[in-house]
Amino acid sequence: MSVTTPNARKVLIKTFGCQMNVYDSERMGELLDKEGYVATNEAGEADLVILNTCHIREKAAEKVYSEVGRLRRVADERRAHGRETLIAVAGCVAQAEGAEIIRRAGAVNMVFGPQTYHRLPDMLARAREAQAQGQTPRVLDTDFPVEEKFDHMPKGRVSAGPAAFVTVQEGCDKFCTFCVVPYTRGAEISRPLAAIEGETRDLVAQGVREVTLLGQNVNAYHGDDGRGAAADLPGLIRRLAAIEGLARIRYTTSHPRDMTDALIMAHGEVDKLMPYLHLPVQAGSDRVLAAMNRKHTAESYLAIIERLRAARPDLALSGDFIVGFPGETEEDFRQTLALVEAVGYAQAYSFKYSPRPGTPAAEMADQVPEDEKADRLARLQDLLNRQQLAFNQRSVGRTMPVLFERAGRRPGQLIGRSPYMQSVHVEAADLRIGDIRACEILAAGANSLHGALAERSQAA
Ligand code: SAH
Ligand code: SF4
Ligand code: F3S
């Protein structure tokens, strides 16, 4: 830990987008801690501001530019008091737009992509050197370096309670025609099994009870197993399940194409693997799925769900959906509704299709009008919300283990998670964060459950 002195340099990291960015921001924070930076939430105090950005849907880049505009005014104000500020844009907008950001936003001093974070100390030294010479620093790094960033970054540590994330895989080779991820995160790479196991053991030693294995395509995981072969995700899960003290394992996000028999079997056999799976399908029409380059059909997706449920009957499912993909007709959209009806989701994310510059779908004819997209999204969300509420209501009267993660709003109340990812609110005097206790579910809303400790409970 760095010593907090009034003169210590301060850094503000603002994170947008997915869990991978959250994980990366934490690692950057730790790297900067070693460089003597102290975290702050106040832009006015920050000597360095890093925007860790997302490019997945529209206006993401615009949001960054308006944020930079605000920061420029703060930096001007600080300069008037003799203090310099470095403004950095990292993440997927940085990777996608690169030097264009520096051209458009003169206030930005550093632009660097997701695969370069381990070079941050070096980039900072260069920027500060330029600053010291009275120049405006301009540092740009959007390489996809051969060395793996995680080999050169601090290991994960506990900053947010007993449930932690561990990145196991990055990048994507799937090239769905709507998606920027293969361009912003690069080709699919997996971390070696031993590195993930080591990081997980460290987390458990610090009190972590649950890990979520992260990757853009986590079930494509194929990390070095240390014996010259590749480990797959079920192999990794079984290895981690042997770690004493670790109670729960989850993983996200998966692609239906990589849902292997071995992984499906693991859902039936590994007790620590939680009965919740986020498995995006995107659409229910085979014509649309083909145009999306998903390489699965509605039927093959439903067949996977059936096998998963045979292995683990209480598996809760979540998904991602896109409405209004180019060429999607009312009939195509109805097939999405039909698929949702057939699956019955516990939870889901749904989006209006957003054309991303440089992706094939953005160039396709028959773009769907905005009002049509909005109408379909409302109808889909109405159905998904009803399914979510019904799923939660079916939990009432059941007793299930809850991992308590944080304090609730009321005194004496803690909020935890059920095996199925539901938030559970419980009031009990002897509860501590990190406990896993059997709770009876008493009431359910759309977004959370209310429960009470089950008697004589000390469940795993
Ligand atoms: N690798 C993950 C994450 C992809 S991004 C996966 O395959 O699921 C998360 C979600 O954002 C996607 O599943 C998709 O539903 C949505 N998404 C991606 N690109 C989009 C776009 N151009 N417009 C609307 N939604 C998009
Ligand atoms: Fe994007 Fe498709 Fe890769 Fe997911 S699988 S990250 S949606 S290209
Ligand atoms: Fe966004 Fe990049 Fe994640 S585009 S969703 S931050 S991989």
248 and 272 in contact (C-beta within 8 Å)? yes
Q: Which fold has domain 149-393?
A: pyruvate-formate lyase- activating enzyme (3.80.30)
Domain locations in the chain as residue ranges? 9-141, 149-393, 399-459
Euclidean distance between CA atoms 288 and 330, whole angstroms: 12
Q: CB 87: neighbour CB atoms within 10 A?
A: 23
Rounded-to-integer distance, Cα 295 and Cα 63, Å: 33
The CATH number fitting domain 9-141, selected from 3.40.50.150, 3.40.50.12160, 3.20.110.10, 3.40.50.970: 3.40.50.12160
Token pair, residue 194, equals 């031993």
The pLDDT, as a whole number, for residue 460 is 43
Q: Alpha-carbon distance 355 to 325, whole Å?
A: 9
Using the mean position of ligand 2's atoms as its centre, give its distance from the Cα of residue 388 in Å: 25
Q: State the DSSP H helix or E strand holding residue 34, giving kind and residue range, or none if neither.
A: helix 19-34
| CB within 8 Å of 377: residues ≥ 6 apart | 323, 324, 350, 351, 352
Ligand 1 centroid–CA 282 distance in Å is 8
Contacts of 258 (CB under 8 A, 6+ apart): 217, 219, 220, 233
Residue nearest to atom 2 of ligand 2 (CA): 176
Distance of CA 438 to the CA centre of its chain: 28
Please report, in tens digits, the pLDDT of each residue of the chain (460 residues total).
445 556 789 999 999 999 999 999 999 999 999 999 999 999 999 999 999 999 999 877 788 899 999 999 999 999 999 999 999 999 999 999 998 998 988 899 999 999 999 999 999 999 999 999 989 999 999 988 767 777 777 776 656 789 999 999 999 999 999 999 999 999 999 999 999 999 999 999 999 999 999 999 999 999 999 999 999 999 999 999 999 999 999 999 999 999 999 999 999 999 999 999 999 999 999 999 999 999 999 999 999 999 999 999 999 999 999 999 999 999 999 999 999 999 999 999 999 999 999 999 999 999 999 999 999 999 999 999 999 999 999 999 999 999 999 999 988 899 999 999 999 999 988 899 999 999 999 999 999 999 999 975 444 4
What is the H or E stretch that residue 390 is in?
A: helix 370-394
Q: How far is the CA of 56 from the centre of ligand 3 (A)?
A: 6
Cα(308)–Cα(55) distance, integer angstroms: 32
User: For tokens 């109808």, what's the residue?
Assistant: 379
116: how many CB neighbours lie within 10 A of its CB? 21
The DSSP result for 316-364, as a single string, is EEEEEEEE--TT--HHHHHHHHHHHHHH--SEEEEEE----TTSGGGG-
Give the ligand at the shortest distance from the Cα of 93.
Answer: 3
CA-based nearest residue to 36, from 48, 44, 45 = 48
**HSE toward the beta carbon, residue 292, CA cutoff 13 A:** 25
**What ligand 1 atom has the least distance to the C-alpha of 356?**
22
Helices (H), 41-147: 60-80, 91-97, 99-104, 120-132
Tokens of 380: 């889909």
Beta-carbon contacts of residue 415 (< 8 Å; ≥ 6 apart): 404, 405, 406, 407, 408, 423, 424, 425, 426, 448
CB 326 within 8 A of CB 361: yes
Tokens found for residue 33? 């801690």
Q: Measured in angstroms, how far is the CA atom of residue 454 from the centroid of ligand 2?
A: 42
Q: What are the Cα distances from residue 328, in Å, to 186, 290, 370?
A: 28, 12, 13
Is the distance from the beta carbon of residue 351 to the nearest atom of ligand 2 less than 6 Å? Answer: no
The arrangement of secondary structure in 399-459, i.e. its CATH architecture, is Beta Barrel (2.40)
Q: Is 255 in the pocket of ligand 2 (CB under 6 A)?
A: yes
Number of H helices, E strands in the chain: 13, 19
- State the pTM of this model: 0.93
Please choose from 351, 352, 364 the residue to mutate so as to test ligand 1's pocket, defined by most ligand atoms within 8 A of CB. 351
Q: Do domains 149-393 and 399-459 have the same CATH topology?
A: no
Q: Is the CB of 181 under 6 A from ligand 2?
A: yes
Ranges of H-type helices in 187-241 = 193-205, 233-241
Query: How far apart are the C-alpha atoms of 277 and 270, rounded to whole Å?
Result: 14
Q: Longest Cα pair distance anywhere in the chain, in angstroms?
A: 68
What the block records as the tokens of 54 is: 């997302």
| Residues pairing with 111 in the sheet | 89, 140
The Cα 330–Cα 334 span in angstroms is: 6
Q: Scanning the structure block, which residue is given the tokens 């494509």?
A: 220
User: Which H or E element spans position 407?
Assistant: strand 399-407
CA separation (Å) from 460 to 209, 210, 240, 251? Answer: 11, 12, 17, 20
Q: Is 18 in the pocket of ligand 3 (CB under 6 A)?
A: yes
